[in-house]
Amino acid sequence: MRIRMGMAGGGEGAFIGEIHRAAARLDGEIELVCGAFSSSPQVSRRTGAKLGLAPERVYGSWEHLLAEEALLPADSRMEFLCIVTPNDLHFPIAVRALEAGFHVLSDKPATRTLAEARQLAGVIARTRRCYALTHTYLGYPMVAEARVRVLNGDIGAVRRLQVDYSQGWLSQRLETQGNRQALWRTDPERAGAGGSIGDIGVHAFNLAEYVSGLQVTQLCCELGVTVPGRKLDDQAAAFLSFDNGARGTLTASQVSAGAENDLTLRIHGETGGFVWSHRDPNSLHLLSPAGVHRILRAGSDMTDLHPDTRALCRTPAGHPEGFIEAFANLYRAFLADIRSSAEAPGACASGARPTSPATASAAVRGMSFIDAMIRSNAAGQRWVALEC
């Protein structure tokens, strides 16, 4: 049986909404049954029509969607809500959807503030509904493999981690030139207090904690507002201190003119290191002293990969998989959570798997990161502890 999905946001012109829908379709396990695709009822209706939804399941607002769907019979109403609105709505919609009994899959960042994230975590725990954040990069097989191998001790205790996320698209002040993506991302009211750190830095942070299996305890951050007239940070750098004593750096930029969407993680332990880059996501570089440099490659047939990693591959080695497949892997894990939850509410067990996607705790961690980055910067690059 396919799982029934509803969607909040993702109307015409939104980039990520269509990615979500494609990812949801890929494995044929999900059916989009309803949506409130835009704050404009007209846009919402037009989007729904294009998607072939029944007109009565296309709503003019997310409040309406939640209210109406809850009234439908259990075997036809949506089972989970996918939230792909601008940042400011992630939290209120998620809370209301959970309270209404729906599972929630949300874009990051989960909320606008750390306080909201804690509140959200409370709601998740209380409602015993499944919740996941689409930290896309966790869906790449070779990211999962890196995590499995680091946890397995393949490179010894982690000593040094460097994560960099560089984009160039905000090098110009697009927000004054009619670019809607730029508009809300640079507006503190809609994006939250973080600019580049909320949009991409939090992905880098999430990746760093995921692969290392460590937690950042303290950080020291410098935020930069590069383009004249902009209100939020468009570049950022931080020193990171991990709970095992390892050190790290995190850098993020949306003003690296000419960069695309370049996320790179380098992690070094006592006896080796891993390098993964979004430019070549199906490769994982394993470095060892004395010149042993291996390239581990994604593929359903790669017997040297962990079985969980192989299961994230839809094709044998040599058949490139990409962003949409990574996204679809997050959906897969979320569906597994929903299914196990159906048998034992609150059992959303994905967190127990080594290759789990981001769940409630990641929502709090992410907001705690953004909060700490802003506090550290405001204090003139002082070390601050992550509060969570």
39: Cβ–Cβ under 8 A, 6 or more apart, which residues?
Answer: 61
Specify the pairing of strand 103-106 against strand 131-133.
parallel
Closer residue to a second copy, CB minimum distance, 117 or 296: 296
Q: Cβ of residue 137: shortest distance to a second copy, in angstroms?
A: 11
126: Cβ–Cβ under 8 A, 6 or more apart, which residues?
Answer: none
Identity at 86, one-letter amino acid code: P
35 lines the binding site for a second copy (CB under 8 A): no
Rounded CA separation 176/336 (Å): 43
Is-contact 317 299, C-beta < 8 A?
yes
Q: Cβ of residue 168: shortest distance to a second copy, in angstroms?
A: 6
- φ/ψ of 267, rounded to 5, equals -135, 125
159 lines the binding site for a second copy (CB under 8 A): yes
18 lines the binding site for a second copy (CB under 8 A): yes
188: Cβ–Cβ under 8 A, 6 or more apart, which residues?
Answer: 231, 232
189 lines the binding site for a second copy (CB under 8 A): no
Pick from 10, 11, 281, 357: which binds a second copy (CB under 8 A)?
281
Stretch that binds a second copy, among 26-34, 63-71, 120-128, 339-347 (CB under 8 A): 26-34
381 lines the binding site for a second copy (CB under 8 A): yes
Binding to a second copy (CB under 8 A) within 211-270 occurs at: 220, 222, 224, 226, 235, 237, 239, 247, 249, 251, 253, 255-262, 266, 268-270
Q: How many residues bind a second copy (CB under 8 A)?
A: 89
Q: Cβ of residue 335: shortest distance to a second copy, in angstroms?
A: 14
290 lines the binding site for a second copy (CB under 8 A): yes
Binding to a second copy (CB under 8 A) within 295-334 occurs at: 295-297, 299, 301-305, 314-325
- 348, HSE (Cβ side, Cα atoms, 13 Å): 24
Binding to a second copy (CB under 8 A) within 74-133 occurs at: none
Q: Cβ of residue 119: shortest distance to a second copy, in angstroms?
A: 32
Closer residue to a second copy, CB minimum distance, 169 or 184: 169
24: Cβ–Cβ under 8 A, 6 or more apart, which residues?
Answer: 5, 30, 32, 82, 328, 331
